[in-house]
Amino acid sequence: MSPSSALDLNLIRVFVAIYETGSASLAAHRLELTQPSVSHALTRLRTHYNDHLFARHAAGLRPTKLSDQLFPRLRDALAAIESTVNESRFFDPKTSERQVRIAMSDIGALYFVPPLLHRLRKLAPLLKVEITQPSATLADELSTGAVDLAVGNLPELLTHTRVETLFTERYTCLLSSSHPTINNKLSVKAFSSARHILVTSPWSGHILIDSILSSQGISRNIVARVPHFSSLPNILVGSDLLAILPSRVASIFSLQGGLKLLDIPVAIPHFEVRLHWHTRHQSSPIHQWLREQFLALSEL
């Protein structure tokens, strides 16, 4: 490769897309190009770097050693260049018809979506919102733009994204107002012996609760497991079950009647609810505007 030879910006986009997706067809889909166009770009890249860059493998295209070295530099350069382009793009929330995708758990949706949609109805009436559950590939989805923002207690994203803390939250106990053995105060003994229901949410920090309790010599008597927090009110009312969940959503549930909140009788650290996005969207007007809306909601 000649030191003075120019590398087309579109070739950098193709390289980064192939590296991140491991597939020429997926890269074409992301970039809204034809597959022959991506293949032609890859040929030009190989000539430019005098390296094969990607080798075919059963799972897709595997990067060469040179590609592994090039990727972080080209990715960061692309993000910096695209951010300057984004800064000059005009975004008018009152007229934009764009669809945005936001990842959050059902408990996040219970807390954020009603006020968010109410706010958007007034400020951005044509904007379309899709809420999606966090997945194992969420970091990649944020990187590719398949998801615009992620909201929640998602510690697995901290090393992959830009972050803004929305608020600090604590855990509380939610149980039936007519619980047969627990009145208005919860002792350690009653907490340990109570029948607990657990929400299995693998893509959040909530799964750490039992590790924290175990470190204090406490093991919950978990008799039921459910996949969604939203099912808890109907399950808990009139039962002898006890659930641990974030206080803000627990308070929302308690307003439905038949439920009460009690402090957990052992120390469980507070946690942060955060907003996550990919660095390449740092200066995007629409992303900046969306982040401002969540920050405004967190202050309510």
- Which range (73-77, 98-102, 239-243) has the least confidence? 73-77
Comparing 99-166+272-298 with 171-269, is the CATH topology the same?
yes
CB atoms < 10 A from the CB of 154, how many? 25
Question: What percent of the chain lies above the pLDDT cut of 70?
Answer: 94
Q: Which long-range contacts (CB under 8 A, 24 or more apart) does 133-142 make?
A: 133/103, 133/104, 133/105, 133/106, 133/203, 134/103, 134/104, 134/105, 134/203, 134/204, 135/103, 135/203, 136/203, 138/103, 138/203, 140/20, 141/103, 142/103, 142/276, 142/277, 142/278
- Which range (136-145, 249-258, 266-275) has the least confidence? 136-145
Distance CA 43, CA 28 (A): 14
Determine the pLDDT at residue 180: 95
Mean of the per-residue pLDDT values of the chain? 89
Determine the pLDDT at residue 258: 96
The highest-confidence range among 16-20, 81-85, 192-196, 281-285, by mean pLDDT, is: 192-196
Place of tokens 């009788």: 265
Single-letter residue type at 244: I
For the chain, which residues make up each domain, given as ranges?
9-88, 99-166+272-298, 171-269
Conformational region of residue 50, where left means phi above 0, alpha means psi within -120 to 50, and beta covers everything else: left
Please say whether the structural domain 171-269 has been given the CATH code 3.40.190.10. yes
**From 3.40.50.1110, 3.40.50.1820, 3.30.470.20, 3.40.190.10, which CATH number describes the 99-166+272-298 domain?**
3.40.190.10
Would you say the pTM of this structure is higher than 0.75?
Answer: no
- Which range (162-166, 197-201, 203-207, 228-232) has the least confidence? 203-207
- Architecture (CATH level 2) of domain 9-88: Orthogonal Bundle (1.10)
Is residue 277 a contact partner of residue 287, using CB atoms and an 8 Å limit?
yes
- Give the residue-averaged pLDDT of 154-179: 94
